[in-house]
């Protein structure tokens, strides 16, 4: 008697797609009373565009997770104004602080904020909080004409905070970051060059939608 063939019927196929760090997930599938649940930790990533450069200053940038370290070197003894575009991606609220041990800073301001694409929450711009002393958005002031008094950035200065930025994507997606342009003013150094180290650090705050 020939062996009986057993026909295996596939009744359901479940495909799990891991998209990003960005969206807290709660997945529940029931097959024989088995439930699966998961969540994603609050994450903030900070970087600069890969093509970032400045015409009259040598800029070395090291990005590592939620930290960006910027070294600015110039042989020009005149006052300098540099703009650094920071890219923020987050699945939660965030804040960015800055620290520098130099006395060459005359100014530290945010001049522009924009979304890089459709996966940026609308609230990321409207809900952004910039301390008054750092907010130069839409002011119409000429940064080069502003006072050249020293800015003490020896401690952690809160530069900006805001709600969740990214609605999806990955840490490398081109359309899910908030670009925050930071203007840095350097004091003139007659007969000397300029060397400035800045550290921007981002961290997560209370999760928001």
Listed ranges 16-20, 57-61, 200-204; the one with the highest mean pLDDT: 200-204
DSSP 14: -
Residues 179, 89: contact at Cβ < 8 Å?
no
DSSP 78-105: S-EEEEEEEEEEESS-EEEEEE---S-E
* Alpha-helical regions (H) of the chain: 123-126
* Angle (CA) 128 113 134, round 5°: 70
Q: List the single range of 28-37, 53-62, 108-117 with lowest mean pLDDT.
A: 28-37
The pLDDT assigned to 1 comes to 53
Please tell me the distance from the alpha carbon of residue 171 to that of residue 176, in angstroms, as a whole number.
Answer: 9
pTM for this one? 0.76
Structure tokens at 12: 């359901």
Domain boundaries, the chain: 44-204
pLDDT tens digits, one per residue of 158-209:
999 999 999 999 999 999 999 999 998 887 776 666 778 899 999 999 754 4
The pLDDT assigned to 7 comes to 43
Residues 42, 91: contact at Cβ < 8 Å?
yes
Residue 26, Cβ neighbours under 10 Å: how many?
9
Residue 209, Cβ neighbours under 10 Å: how many?
10
């Amino acid at each position: 008697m020939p062996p009986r063939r057993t026909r295996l019927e596939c009744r359901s196929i479940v495909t799990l797609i891991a998209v990003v760090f960005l969206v807290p997930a709660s997945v529940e599938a029931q097959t024989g009373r088995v439930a699966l649940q998961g969540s994603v930790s609050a994450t903030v990533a900070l970087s600069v565009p890969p093509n970032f450069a400045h015409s009259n200053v040598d800029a070395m940038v090291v990005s590592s997770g939620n930290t960006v370290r910027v070294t600015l070197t110039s042989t020009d003894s005149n006052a300098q104004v540099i703009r650094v575009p920071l890219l923020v991606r987050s699945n939660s609220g965030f804040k960015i602080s800055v620290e520098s041990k130099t006395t060459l800073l005359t100014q530290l301001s945010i001049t522009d904020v924009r979304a890089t694409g459709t996966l940026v929450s609308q609230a990321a711009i409207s809900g952004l909080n910039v301390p008054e002393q750092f907010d130069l958005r839409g002011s119409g002031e000429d940064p080069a004409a502003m006072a050249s008094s020293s800015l003490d950035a020896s401690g952690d200065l809160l530069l900006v905070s805001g709600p969740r930025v990214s609605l999806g994507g990955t840490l490398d997606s081109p359309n899910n970051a908030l670009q925050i342009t930071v203007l840095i003013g350097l004091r003139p150094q007659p007969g000397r060059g300029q060397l400035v180290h800045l550290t921007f650090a981002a961290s997560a705050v209370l999760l928001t939608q």
